[in-house]
Amino acid sequence: MKFKRFVHLLEEENARLKSELARHLVVNNCDAQNIDPVSSDSLDSLINLYDRGFHVCPMYFGGLRQEDCLFCSALIHKAGEVSNE
C-alpha cells in the first residue's frame, strides 16, 4: 500500500511540474513576441476567485481552498509581474 501511495504522489508531482513548465513556456514565448499574456481584467478575475476561496492554480483550479495555497499565490504574483511589464 505504501508503494501505491508513493506512485500516486509522484504522478501528482509530475502533473504539477508539467503545468508549471507549460506556464513558463507560454510566458517566455509571449515575452519573446512582446505579447501581454495576462490582461489586468484577467488578473483581477483570478484575484477575485482566489479571494472568494477558490484555487486558481492549474493543479486544483476551481476547487475550494481550506487555507492559502502557495501555487495560487505564485501564479497570481507571476501574472502580476508579467502584466506590469
The mean-pLDDT minimum among 27-31, 32-36, 49-53, 77-81 falls in 32-36
pLDDT bin (cut points 50, 70, 90) of residue 84 is low
If one compares 70 and 43, the residue with the highest pLDDT of the two is 70
What is the mean predicted confidence (pLDDT) over 65-69?
91
If one compares 39 and 67, the residue with the highest pLDDT of the two is 67
If one compares 35 and 44, the residue with the highest pLDDT of the two is 44
What is the mean predicted confidence (pLDDT) over 25-36?
53
Spell out the alpha helix ranges (H) of 1-85.
2-32, 40-51, 70-84
